[in-house]
């Protein structure tokens, strides 16, 4: 019995505000950052105790002037995080467009083959009915560095080599069968040219998805943002404790939550082909391709 496909993208109602506020799920940044919340609370409480109770530093001391530096750096860090999240979302959206193109090209190729192939050639129709969706499933698992042969529906006599590029093998088998039909005279040269764009698009989409997966944000940029957030938050209690007193504890935790959450969200969506909660629903898309191709052919 075939196992149901797991949805890795969260379904939600964007108008349900109160549901969002009180809902926690496995992708929620609160869960990931909670240990840091505890550490920052203890750190902020320690700084407040030292400055207010133990050392009794004057509220007019030079330490209070550090708040001016935070005012200036706050604008800089906001620009960096906006650029970071926008860049990550562009990668996520480009991945979604590529998979949308794969859906359309799979349907178009199926429609053209259904119209071009003789009705008597049931073997070729069955071959393409299986192999066209196989490309989507093989690409999905290839982008996750997996080879799940159980998800592929291979025609009799067809075997794939797990140590080689699986999507390329599937696309090559489809191309080879099309050209064999041309040599047999069941497809004309004009028809071959007509379906060439869809055949070529498979490897184009595969290469574009690999470019997104294999080219993360530059290491130095990612490290700089993390260090910037860390030192910005760790120096907050030094100056603001004179104004907020022990209220500095929840304030520092909340500021860290906002800044670090933006960075965590960007990290999660910059590679949209994995199994994170906010990644693309490639399992569902692949299953829909198989369903629609089967309906056409």
Quick one: pLDDT at residue 18? Answer: 63
Quick one: pLDDT at residue 25? Answer: 57
Output the 3-class SS for the chain: CCCCCCCCECCCCCCCHHHHHHCCCCCCHHHHHHHHHHHHHHHHHHHHHHHHHHCCCCCCCHHHHHHHHHHHHHHHHHHHHHHHHHHHHHHHHHHHHHHHHHHHHHHHHHHHHHHHCCCCCHHHHHHHHHHHHHHHHHHHHHCCCCCCHHHCCCCCCCCCCCCCCHHHHHHHHHHHHHHHHHHCCCCCHHHHHHHHHHHHHHHHHHHHHHHHHHCCCCHHHHHHHHHHHHHHHHCHHHHHHHHHHHHHHHHHHHHHHHHHHHHHHHHHHCCCCCCCCECCCHHHHHHHHHHHHHHHC
Quick one: pLDDT at residue 5? Answer: 42
pTM: 0.84
Asked if residue 91 has pLDDT above 60, the reply is: yes
Count Cβ atoms below 10 Å from residue 71 Cβ, excluding itself.
9
Asked if residue 19 has pLDDT above 70, the reply is: no
Domain ranges of the chain: 97-215+282-296
pLDDT tens per residue across span 217-253:
888 988 999 999 999 999 999 888 988 899 999 999 9
Quick one: pLDDT at residue 16? Answer: 65
**Segment 201-206 mean pLDDT:** 96
pLDDT tens per residue across span 118-154:
988 999 999 999 999 999 999 999 999 999 999 999 9
């Amino acid at each position: 019995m075939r196992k149901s496909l797991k949805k890795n993208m969260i379904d939600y109602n964007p108008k349900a505000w109160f549901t969002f506020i009180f809902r926690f799920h496995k992708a929620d940044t609160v869960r990931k950052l909670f240990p840091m919340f505890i550490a920052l609370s203890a750190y902020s409480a320690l700084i407040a105790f030292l400055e207010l109770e133990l050392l009794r530093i004057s509220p007019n001391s030079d330490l209070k002037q550090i708040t001016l530096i935070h005012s200036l750096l706050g604008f800089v860090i906001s620009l960096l995080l906006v650029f970071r999240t926008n860049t990550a979302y562009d990668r996520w959206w480009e991945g979604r467009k590529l998979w949308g193109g794969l859906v359309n090209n799979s349907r178009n190729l199926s429609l053209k083959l259904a119209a071009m192939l003789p009705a008597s050639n049931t073997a070729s129709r069955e071959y393409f009915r299986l192999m066209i969706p196989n490309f989507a499933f093989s690409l999905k698992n290839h982008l996750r560095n997996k080879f799940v042969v159980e998800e592929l529906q291979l025609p009799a006599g067809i075997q794939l080599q797990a140590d080689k590029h699986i999507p390329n093998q599937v696309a090559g088998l489809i191309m080879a069968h099309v050209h064999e039909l041309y040599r047999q005279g069941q497809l004309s040269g004009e028809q071959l040219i007509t379906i060439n764009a869809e055949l070529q698009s498979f490897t184009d989409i595969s290469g574009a998805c690999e470019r997104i997966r294999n080219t993360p944000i530059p290491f130095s940029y990612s490290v700089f943002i993390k260090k910037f957030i860390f030192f910005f938050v760790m120096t907050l209690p030094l100056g603001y404790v004179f104004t907020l007193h022990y209220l500095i504890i929840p304030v520092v935790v909340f500021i860290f939550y906002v800044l670090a959450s933006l960075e965590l969200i960007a990290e999660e969506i910059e590679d949209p082909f994995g199994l994170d909660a906010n990644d693309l629903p490639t399992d569902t898309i692949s299953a829909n391709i198989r369903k629609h191709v089967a309906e056409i052919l």
